[in-house]
Amino acid sequence: MPATKGLNDNLAAFLTMIGKSEGTVDIPNSDDGYLVLVGGTLFHSYHDHPRIKVWIENLRGYSTAAGRYQILERYFDFYKKELKLSGPDYFCPENQDIIAQKMITECHAMSDIYSGQFEIAVGKCKSRWASFYGADYKGQHTNSIDFLASAYQQAGGTFA
């Protein structure tokens, strides 16, 4: 069961949409995307961020992105301290969700999500998730707004 259980329906759907967009939630044995390294392989412990550098050919560089929301190691370290995340499983699904919600809040998109202003929320969050429509991350795949809206709606999100 996803850690998003109990959240506002639109927020839970938006979080699931992020996982769909990042390509994590549909990977077999990935615990709904929470155990995915960038590139699609799995890690096997929630104790901490996996801290594995994966070479990404089209970026011509390494990435430490991991988990359902593809959180970079350096950002995890910041949020772990900032949010006073508890262990012993610091990178557990609940904490990954907390970090993603903090990132959304920093983008000033939470009220847009709650009110169903989906495209506005995506636009505000595209600086955090390279897979979002309109994101300007060189060499990274982006998904169309239609793909994102479909994933959001399939996850139970509603539009204003």
Active site residues: 22
User: Across-strand partners of 66?
Assistant: 37, 71
At 70, phi and psi to the nearest 5?
50, 60
CA-only gyration radius of the chain, Å: 15
Query: What amino acid is encoded at 101 in this protein?
Result: Q
Kindly tell me the sign of the dihedral angle through the C-alpha atoms of 121, 126, 132, 134: positive
* Dist. CA 66–CA 100, nearest whole Å: 12
* Dist. CA 99–CA 83, nearest whole Å: 8
| DSSP classification of residue 30 | S
Query: Is the distance from CB of 11 to CB of 114 less than 8 angstroms?
Result: yes
